[in-house]
Amino acid sequence: MNGDISVAPLPRAEQAPESTAAAAIVALVGNPNCGKTALFNALTGSRQKVANYPGVTVEKKTGQFTTPAGRAIKVVDLPGTYSLRARSPDEEITRDAVLGRLATEAVPDLIVCVADASNLRLALRLVLELKHVGRPLLLSLNMMDIARKRGIEIDIDRLSAALGIPVVSSVAVRRGGTDGLLAELDRALDRRLQAGVSDWHAPNASELRSGQREADRLLRLAVRSEGRLDPGTAKADALLLHPVAGLVILLAILFVMFQAVFAWARPLMDAISDGFTWFGALVGEAPLPEILRSFLKDGVIAGVGSVIVFLPQITILFFFILLLEDLGYMARAAFLMDKIMGGAGLHGRAFIPLLSSFACAIPGIMATRVIDDRRDRLTTILVAPLMTCSARIPVYTLIISAFIPDRQVWGVVGLQGLVMFGLYAVGIVGALVVSFIAKRLFWRTNAGEPFMLELPDYKIPQLKSLLLGVWARALAFLKRAGTTILSMMILIWVLASFPQPPDGATGPAINYSLAAMIGNAIAPLTHPLGFNWQINVALVPGMAAREVAVGALGTIYSIDGGESAADKIGQVLSGQWSLATALAFLAWYIFAPQCASTLAVIRRETGSWKWMAVTFFYMLALAYAAAFAVFQVASALGAG
Task: Summarize the annotated binding site as residue ranges.
Answer: 30-37, 41-42, 44-45, 55-59, 77-80, 142-145
For residue 497, give every residue at least 6 positions away whose Cβ sits within 8 Å of its Cβ, in sequence order, or none: 291, 294, 295, 299, 509, 513, 559
Q: Is 332 strand, coil or helix?
A: helix
Alpha carbon of 233 to those of 38, 131, 192, 229, 429: distances in Å? 20, 34, 41, 8, 31
> Annotated binding site for GTP: which residue ranges?
30-37, 55-59, 77-80, 142-145
- Start-to-end Cα distance in the chain: 76
CA distance 384 to 601: 12
Residue 387 buriedness (CB in 10 A; 0-12 / 13-18 / 19+)? buried
561 DSSP 8-state letter = T
14 DSSP 8-state letter = B
Q: Is the peptide bond before 499 cis (omega within 30 degrees of 0)?
A: yes
> Annotated binding site for Mg(2+): which residue ranges?
41-42, 44-45
CA distance 245 to 58: 37
Q: List, edge to edge, every strand of the sheet that includes 137-142.
A: 48-52, 59-66, 72-77, 24-30, 110-116, 137-142, 167-169
The answer to whether 378 and 389 have CB atoms below 8 angstroms apart is no
Query: How many CA atoms lie less than 13 Å away from 42 in the CB half-sphere?
Result: 24
Query: How many CA atoms lie less than 13 Å away from 293 in the CB half-sphere?
Result: 10
Quick one: which of 268, 308, 488, 332 has its CA closest to 390? 308
Phi, then psi, of 162 in degrees rounded to 5? -70, -35
Q: Which pairing describes strands 59-66 and 152-154: parallel, antiparallel, or unpaired?
A: unpaired
Note the maximum CA span of the chain.
Answer: 94
H-helix or E-strand containing 604?
helix 596-606
H-helix or E-strand containing 152?
strand 152-154
Residue 312 buriedness (CB in 10 A; 0-12 / 13-18 / 19+)? buried
CA distance 602 to 373: 17
